[in-house]
């Protein structure tokens, strides 16, 4: 490894260059990035950090007593063992589970973001390993968009088609008159793109639209969800009620005869059903919605007037559907855009998730980007991803999903690489009980996350900065040579090497590696892109030249509005993939499932958990501004945003005052499920009655002095909201994650403060 040279690399939060002098790593954003993400500042702290897993580790209880149900997970100590010993034992255990209980007894859903490189992508590696060695129970959908992923193909189009490649930022800058953003389009969120992002264009595009006279309307409990520069009109809505506002906007537009009857007739299906619901008692008018949403009826009527003229774009952030009945605002936003007749127009209509992620709203590359080869999974067993604790706690239990009744498999072994369920799942104390049911839990991670601390076997992975890879995504034009920047930490190994060694022990080594080294895989993966470039007659440098240059700009397809624009122009010739081929503003298919919590048209349903006397606040647990999820939580930028080492909860002064909470106080957020500490920040940028605590502070369970009966994990000392969130599906239809919203109480914490000690390896007992 050559040190002290400037090298290219990439993270989900941006392309960068870095220089390592043998001690320190200096990181600089890519010179072509107009608005780099400050999350880059977390990277240098990772080098040699005490949170790293330095050598393979096994949980004592598992190593000494063997596999089996064990509430000691999360509580036991660890000991270091050799790679040879741990790989032998793990291969043996995998074989035992499969031969005793069948291949579906291995859970390899392994949800998570891992790192940006396309070869060393931990999930892809693990799935391939589990597939070639016999198969596994997989997961479907994501925590990000679980409700929308099941709904959108039924009502509008494929998930990628209506997030990535429909309305682009260039179109917003050039064409949109009114941007109606439900949940906003926070720059903190679009800073992140799966596979990396070379140019953060969102701020510039919004500013250009604003300079042209476009109006931005922010519907959100939090003001910073749109950048200050766009001067948005802020409608601080009560969380979880957006569909009521959407219904009232439709009602008002229709009552005044300003809906697009032609578009509804020629391009939509189910309008009669929806129309009937809008006007049936109680009429879904502005006064009705005002009582539910907390937004003035006059403001709703004024907004309905505004959006019916000119080019209007409705966006719905992913957060809205990460909640109970989360399908409804996605459907409501689609239907609203259809009523306005705007779907498929440049800069108009509906773009699901625009602004939630940096890889949305951009033209598509004209050539495929490198990706690691999948292997077919011979087992056809799956769960919707966020139902993992239900599966472990109720093997053989039944549940509804997408029109079918399904049965949970009996999983004995779970395997995780590149994800952190003890960050991302809801109700972490319940997840701990679920994981206790396993025979064996194997985790690959570079750092001692809360998940690693629940594993029986911890396999130390290299970090992305310790290996060569290729960064790419289909909606970013830059292919990046991700070069190794620093030496490998301790005994860490690439996931590929670990899984190759295990595959060999299980007799499938050749099938897993196809005889390639990691470097040979990179060349192989790059070759697909090179060939496609050559076929188009474009410059197609060979791998060595690409690597030498550090990057390659790919050609892009025209920014033509994609499937929605083609459908608008010719609904018969380019039908949508929905049951009718049209926009389903109502759906006989979904109605046919008979789910009251997701009926056959967008509808308002009361949530079954909402603030009440005991738990008077909505807690919004949104994505953190200072990191990606839980990754590099110990990094300089993430740590710098904490107060006294704890995550910050935002609270309105009118709420804090009567509770005797001052800025900087440590508070306890709690409900029946558990509690977490956080440091209070008082701000009037939040709707009263709402608290906001981002995700990602590593779970630090300890006893709660206010509720000792909960045992040793009643309180998170650090500020992880999943200590209190609810583990339940969005509806019987989609079963998406509902982590964004839950009801809590808040009080000042006047007990001695428990230390936060999770950013280092657990002590040997
Ligand atoms: N309450 C609440 N909860 C939520 C959400 C919410 O809004 N509210 N949002 C949800 C959403 S949208 C998401 S996407 C999830 C995110 O949840 P995750 O994707 O699970 O979160 P990350 O912190 O990105 O976890 C990635 C893990 O991979 C590890 N890693 C990185 N590189 C490598 C590698 O090369 N090899 C290996 N083996 N490991 C690696 C990191 O150290 C880290 O532990 O959280 C969800 N949880
Ligand atoms: N910096 C950073 N960016 C990220 C990520 C990260 O971890 N860090 N994660 C990435 C991932 S994996 C994903 S899936 C996306 C997620 O993208 P989103 O889900 O859009 O992101 P969030 O920040 O969770 O939510 C956006 C905003 O929605 C608002 N909101 C919450 N509930 C409601 C509601 O009921 N109604 C309305 N109108 N607004 C509401 C909140 O104020 C919140 O700030 O973010 C991506 N971007
Ligand atoms: Mo996500």
Domain of residue 645, CATH code: 2.40.40.20
Q: How far apart (Å, rounded) are the C-alpha atoms in residues 592 and 216? A: 38
Ligand showing the shortest atom-to-Cα distance for residue 739: 1
Instruction: Reduce the secondary structure of 501-549 to three states and give it as a string.
Output: HHHHHCCCHHHHHCCCCHHHHHHHHHHHHHHHHHHCCCCCCCHHHHHHH
523 falls within a domain:
no
Q: Are 28 and 88 in a shared domain?
A: no
Report in angstroms the alpha-carbon separations of 265 from 259, 261, 582: 11, 6, 10
Q: Are 178 and 325 in a shared domain?
A: yes
Q: pTM for this one?
A: 0.98
Q: Are 169 and 286 in a shared domain?
A: yes
Q: Are 169 and 301 in a shared domain?
A: yes
Active site residues: 111, 113
Query: Residue 122 CA to chain centroid, in angstroms?
Result: 16
Q: Are 213 and 274 in a shared domain?
A: yes
Q: Are 650 and 678 in a shared domain?
A: yes
Confidence at residue 22, expressed as pLDDT on a 0 to 100 scale: 94
| Range of the structural domain that residue 202 is part of | 147-364+561-591
Beta strand 14-20 with 7-11: parallel, antiparallel or unpaired? antiparallel
Q: How far apart (Å, rounded) are the C-alpha atoms in residues 454 and 99? A: 25
| CATH code for the domain of 303 | 3.40.228.10
Q: How far apart (Å, rounded) are the C-alpha atoms in residues 186 and 624? A: 11
Q: Are 180 and 285 in a shared domain?
A: yes
Q: How many domains does the chain have?
A: 4
Q: State both tokens at 96.
A: 């035992």
765 falls within a domain:
no
610 falls within a domain:
no
Q: Are 32 and 129 in a shared domain?
A: no
Last residue of a domain, one of 576, 591, 606: 591
CB atoms within 10 A of CB 581: 15
Cβ–Cβ < 8 Å for 9, 483: yes
Cβ–Cβ < 8 Å for 319, 183: yes
Q: Are 193 and 247 in a shared domain?
A: yes
pLDDT along the chain (765 residues), means of 10: 87 98 96 98 97 98 97 96 98 98 97 98 97 98 98 96 94 98 98 97 98 98 97 98 99 98 98 98 98 98 98 98 98 98 98 96 96 95 98 98 98 98 98 98 98 98 98 96 98 98 98 98 98 97 98 96 97 98 98 98 98 98 98 98 96 98 98 98 98 98 98 98 98 98 98 97 77
Confidence at residue 644, expressed as pLDDT on a 0 to 100 scale: 87
Cβ–Cβ < 8 Å for 244, 325: no
Confidence at residue 765, expressed as pLDDT on a 0 to 100 scale: 52
Q: How far apart (Å, rounded) are the C-alpha atoms in residues 395 and 383? A: 12
Q: Are 42 and 98 in a shared domain?
A: no
Ligand 1 pocket: which residues have CB below 6 Å? 112-115, 120, 122, 143-144, 322, 417-420, 423-424, 444-447, 449, 461, 464, 495, 621-622, 628-631, 695, 721-722, 725, 739-740
Cβ–Cβ < 8 Å for 699, 722: yes
Confidence at residue 764, expressed as pLDDT on a 0 to 100 scale: 66
Ligand showing the shortest atom-to-Cα distance for residue 695: 1
User: 12, 49, 112, 125: which to mutate for ligand 1, most atoms within 8 A of CB?
Assistant: 112
Ligand 2 pocket: which residues have CB below 6 Å? 144, 182-184, 186, 188-189, 191-192, 219-222, 225, 237, 239-240, 242, 317-320, 322, 356-357, 620, 622-625, 628-629, 740-741
Q: Are 397 and 351 in a shared domain?
A: no
Q: How far apart (Å, rounded) are the C-alpha atoms in residues 714 and 136? A: 33
351 falls within a domain:
yes
Cβ–Cβ < 8 Å for 391, 411: yes
- Hunting for tokens 């291969």 — which residue is that? 91
359 falls within a domain:
yes
Could you give the 3-state DSSP secondary structure of residue 424? helix
Backbone angles phi, psi at 658, to 5 degrees: -60, -20
Q: Are 565 and 502 in a shared domain?
A: no
Single out the residue of 413, 357, 396 nearest to residue 159, CA to CA. 357
């Amino acid at each position: 490894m050559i040190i002290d040279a400037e090298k290219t690399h990439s993270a989900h939060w941006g392309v960068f260059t870095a220089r390592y002098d043998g001690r320190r790593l200096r990181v600089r954003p890519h010179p072509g990035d107009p608005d780099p993400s400050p999350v880059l500042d977390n990277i240098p702290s990772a080098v040699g950090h005490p949170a790293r897993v330095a050598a393979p580790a096994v949980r004592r209880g598992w190593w000494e007593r063997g596999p089996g149900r064990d509430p000691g997970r999360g509580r036991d100590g660890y000991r270091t063992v050799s790679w040879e010993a741990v790989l032998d034992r793990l291969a043996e255990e995998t074989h035992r589970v499969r031969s005793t209980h069948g291949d579906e007894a291995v859970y390899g859903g392994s949800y998570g973001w891992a790192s940006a490189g396309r070869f060393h992508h931990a999930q892809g590696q693990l799935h391939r390993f589990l597939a070639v060695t016999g198969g596994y129970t997989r997961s479907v959908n994501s925590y990000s968009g679980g409700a929308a992923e099941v709904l959108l193909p039924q009502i509008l189009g494929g998930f990628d088609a209506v997030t990535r490649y429909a309305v682009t930022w260039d179109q917003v800058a050039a064409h949109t008159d009114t941007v109606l953003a439900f949940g906003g389009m926070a720059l903190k969120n679009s800073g992140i793109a799966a596979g990396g992002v070379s140019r953060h264009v969102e701020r510039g595009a919004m500013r250009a639209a604003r300079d042209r006279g476009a109006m931005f309307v922010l519907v959100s409990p939090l003001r910073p969800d749109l950048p200050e520069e766009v001067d948005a009109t802020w409608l601080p809505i009560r969380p979880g009620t957006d569909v009521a506002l959407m219904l009232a906007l439709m009602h008002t537009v229709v009552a005044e005869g300003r809906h697009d009857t032609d578009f509804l007739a020629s391009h939509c299906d189910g309008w009669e059903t929806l129309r009937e619901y809008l006007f049936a008692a109680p009429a879904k008018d502005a006064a009705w919605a005002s009582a539910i949403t907390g937004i003035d009826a006059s403001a709703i009527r004024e907004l309905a007037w505004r959006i019916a003229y000119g080019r209007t774009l409705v966006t719905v952030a992913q957060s809205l559907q990460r909640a109970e009945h989360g399908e409804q605002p996605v459907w409501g936003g689609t239907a609203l855009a259809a009523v306005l007749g705007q779907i498929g127009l440049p800069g108009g209509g509906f773009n699901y998730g625009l602004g939630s992620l940096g890889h949305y709203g951009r033209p598509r590359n004209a050539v495929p980007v490198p990706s690691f080869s999948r292997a077919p999974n011979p087992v056809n067993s799956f769960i919707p991803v966020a139902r993992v604790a239900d599966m472990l706690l109720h093997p053989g239990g039944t549940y509804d999903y997408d029109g079918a009744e399904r049965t949970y498999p009996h999983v004995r072994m779970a395997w995780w690489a590149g994800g952190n369920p003890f960050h991302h799942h809801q109700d972490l104390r319940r997840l701990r009980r679920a994981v206790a049911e396993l025979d064996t839990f194997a985790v690959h991670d570079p750092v001692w996350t809360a998940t690693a601390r629940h594993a029986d076997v911890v396999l130390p992975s290299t970090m992305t900065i310790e290996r060569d890879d290729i960064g790419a995504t289909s909606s970013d034009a830059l292919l990046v040579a991700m070069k190794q920047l620093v030496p490998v930490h301790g005994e860490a190994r690439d996931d590929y090497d670990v899984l190759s060694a295990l595959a060999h022990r299980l007799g499938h080594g050749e099938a897993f590696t196809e005889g390639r080294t990691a470097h040979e895989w990179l060349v192989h993966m790059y070759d697909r892109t090179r060939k496609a470039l050559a076929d188009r007659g474009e410059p197609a440098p060979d791998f060595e030249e690409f690597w030498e240059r550090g990057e390659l700009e790919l050609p892009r397809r025209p920014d033509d509005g994609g499937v929605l624009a083609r459908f608008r122009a010719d609904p018969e010739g380019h039908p949508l993939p929905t049951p009718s081929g049209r926009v389903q503003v109502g759906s006989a298919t979904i109605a046919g499932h008979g789910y009251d919590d997701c009926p056959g048209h967008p509808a308002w349903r009361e949530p079954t958990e909402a603030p009440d006397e005991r738990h008077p606040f909505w807690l919004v647990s949104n994505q953190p501004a200072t990191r990606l999820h839980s990754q590099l939580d110990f990094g300089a930028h993430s740590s710098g945003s904490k107060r006294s080492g704890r995550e910050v909860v935002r609270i309105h002064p009118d709420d804090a005052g009567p509770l005797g909470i001052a800025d900087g106080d440590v508070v306890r957020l709690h409900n029946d499920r558990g509690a977490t500490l956080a440091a209070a920040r008082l701000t009037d940028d939040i709707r009263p009655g709402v608290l906001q605590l981002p995700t990602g502070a590593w779970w630090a369970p300890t006893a709660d002095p206010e509720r000792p009966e909960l045992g040793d994990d009643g309180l998170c000392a650090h500020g992880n909201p999943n200590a209190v969130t609810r583990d339940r599906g969005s509806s019987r239809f989609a079963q998406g994650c509902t982590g964004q919203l839950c009801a809590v109480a808040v009080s000042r914490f006047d007990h001695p403060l428990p230390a936060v000690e999770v950013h280092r390896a657990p002590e040997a007992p």
